[in-house]
Structure 1
């Protein structure tokens, strides 16, 4: 996903003063903060549910028409989403996802979008995989509750721990066990990656 980072940065870091005595504007500002906090909490609770292999809680965090996408492969609806997570849980005996702060843009119509990033340690029966990831998210508020309408994950790297030092400087930082090395999803794919050299 291409992000107009200068525009998003300006929009999310500019605080518009509230008009004196405008209670409606104040109420809207408080609601926006509550919405952003609920979405941030959703991301943290998601990480805990994944690490606990709590598939019921994970699936319940998606809308009924929700989509989970991993590196371009989409799972749509509760049954497919459940199957995608069960496959991951069956692969990784122990998982530790550490989400980092993200950004959220509220659209004013009960939807929002945002992105966040994080790190993970994923243990198979024989290997510890270290990963750094980004989530690109679409959210929808249903019945007063914020849910994932779409959650898409891409990776900066995913490598066995003992290969980290030799692989981090390479473009081929996707080294899942028993697979051939592949190019990482980012940052080299970003249109700004080499632009400063122009």
Structure 2
């Protein structure tokens, strides 16, 4: 996803003044903050559910027609989402996801979008994989509850712990156990990656 970072930064960091005595505007501002907090809580609770292997909680965090996408491979609908997470849980005995703060843009129609990033330690039976990931999200509010309409994950790196130092400086930073090295999903693919040379 291409992100116009200067425009998004300006939009999300500019606080409009509220007209004096406009209770409707104040109520709308309070609702905006409540919606943003609910979405941020959803993302934090998601990380806990993944680490606890709480499959029912995870599936319930998605809309009924939601999509979980991992590196371009989508799982659509509750059954497919459940299967995707079960496969991950079967591969990694112990997982620790540390989400970092993200941003949320409300669209005013019960939908929102956002992105966040984080780090993870993922233990298989034979090795520890270290990963840095980014989520691009679409959210939907129904009956007062925010859920994921789509959650897409990509990776800056995913490598066995003993290979991080030797692989981090290269582009082939996706090195899941028993797979051939692959190029990282970002940041080299960003259209701005080399733009500072202009």
Q: Distance in 2 between matches of 1:54 and 1:115?
A: 23
Partner of 2:90: 90
Partner of 2:101: 101
* Structure 2 counterparts to residues 1-198 of structure 1, below 5 A: 1-198=1-198
Q: Point out where structure 1 has 5 or more consecutive residues left out of the alignment.
A: none
Q: Distance in 1 between matches of 2:78 and 2:65?
A: 8
Deviations 1:122-172 (A, max 9, x none): 000001000000000000001100000000000000000000100000100
SS of the aligned residue for 1:157 comes to strand
Deviations 1:47-89 (A, max 9, x none): 0000000000000000000000000000000000000000000
SS of the aligned residue for 1:186 comes to coil
> Cα RMSD (Å) of the superposition?
0.3
What is the TM-score with the length of structure 1 in the denominator? Answer: 1.00
SS of the aligned residue for 1:118 comes to strand
SS of the aligned residue for 2:157 comes to strand
Q: Distance in 1 between matches of 2:119 and 2:39?
A: 19
Moved over 3 A (4+): none
What is the TM-score with the length of structure 2 in the denominator? Answer: 1.00
Q: Once the 2 structures are TM-superposed, how far is the Cα of residue 93 of structure 1 from its aligned partner?
A: 0.1
Q: Once the 2 structures are TM-superposed, how far is the Cα of residue 7 of structure 1 from its aligned partner?
A: 0.4
